[in-house]
């Protein structure tokens, strides 16, 4: 981790955030709007579930703005949970497979695979930096702080009038709500509906 050239690491981190904006924000938003226009209920439901799961990425951004080192853990969780949320549902997978060929279906399947591959590579990358989450000395180092640069620039452009601490607290509240909902799903809903999203 520390042996990586700082300039190369910075370029890779910024590339990761740019890909994240494209693959996890803009494209699924376009697909969701398109699915509503085409009244494709299965795709709508899959993308609605995706947005619920992927909200952990935005929570991670706010935690990083607040300077919370465990944001590296939530970032890794998000990279794991997003592909799970996209492929977990037997009924949605079957319904999407059985839909007639269309540009929307093709783009959805292509995007789903792209996000899965991106998340897998990203999970490996973030896992290499997990020591940042458990050591204040590591977290204060240049390598770990490089990951905070894009969130801080985001804060500068969109939340310049708020303090880092306030936005970090906002991230903490979001994380608590996210974990409560995830816990409810795992402990209650999953036993009732299994891998069926339409129940």
Nearest to 167 by CA among 147, 146, 152, 150: 152
Distinct helix (H) and strand (E) counts, the chain: 12, 0
Q: Report the pLDDT value the prediction gives residue 3, as an integer from 0 to 100.
A: 63
- Determine the Cα–Cα distance for residues 10 and 147; give it in Å rounded to an integer: 8
User: Cβ(111)–Cβ(27) under 8 Å?
Assistant: yes
Q: Report the pLDDT value the prediction gives residue 60, as an integer from 0 to 100.
A: 98
Q: Report the pLDDT value the prediction gives residue 184, as an integer from 0 to 100.
A: 95
Which residues, in sequence order, are CB contacts of 133 under 8 Å at separation 6+? Answer: 69, 70, 71, 72, 73, 139
**Which residue matches tokens 């458990």?**
134
Q: Read off the tokens for 90.
A: 């037997």
Task: Tally the C-alpha atoms within 13 A of residue 132's C-alpha that lie toward its C-beta.
Answer: 29
pTM of the prediction? 0.93
**Which residue matches tokens 């590579």?**
121
- Determine the Cα–Cα distance for residues 30 and 69; give it in Å rounded to an integer: 33
Task: Tally the C-alpha atoms within 13 A of residue 62's C-alpha that lie toward its C-beta.
Answer: 19
Task: Give the CA dihedral 82, 88, 91, 97, nearest 10 degrees.
Answer: 70
Q: Report the pLDDT value the prediction gives residue 198, as an integer from 0 to 100.
A: 80
Q: Report the pLDDT value the prediction gives residue 197, as an integer from 0 to 100.
A: 87
Q: Which residues of the chain have pLDDT under 50?
A: none
Q: Report the pLDDT value the prediction gives residue 5, as an integer from 0 to 100.
A: 84
- Determine the Cα–Cα distance for residues 94 and 96; give it in Å rounded to an integer: 5
Q: Report the pLDDT value the prediction gives residue 4, as an integer from 0 to 100.
A: 73
- Determine the Cα–Cα distance for residues 53 and 162; give it in Å rounded to an integer: 26
């Amino acid at each position: 981790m520390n042996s990586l050239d700082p300039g190369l690491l910075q370029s890779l981190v910024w590339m990761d955030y740019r890909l994240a904006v494209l693959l996890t924000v803009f494209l699924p938003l376009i697909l969701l709007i398109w699915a509503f226009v085409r009244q494709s209920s299965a795709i709508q439901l899959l993308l609605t579930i995706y947005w619920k799961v992927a909200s952990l990425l935005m929570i991670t951004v706010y935690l990083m703005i607040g300077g919370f080192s465990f944001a590296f853990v939530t970032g890794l969780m998000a990279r794991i949970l997003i592909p799970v949320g996209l492929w977990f549902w037997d009924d949605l997978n079957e319904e999407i497979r059985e839909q007639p060929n269309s540009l929307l279906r093709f783009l959805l399947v292509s995007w789903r695979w792209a996000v899965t591959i991106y998340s897998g590579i990203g999970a490996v990358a973030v896992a290499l930096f997990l020591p940042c989450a458990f050591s204040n000395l590591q977290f204060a180092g240049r390598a770990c702080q490089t990951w905070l640069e894009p969130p801080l620039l985001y804060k500068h452009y969109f939340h310049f009038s708020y303090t880092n601490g306030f936005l970090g607290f906002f991230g903490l509240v979001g994380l608590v709500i996210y974990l409560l909902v995830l816990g409810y799903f795992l402990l209650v809903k999953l036993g009732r509906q299994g891998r069926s999203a339409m129940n």
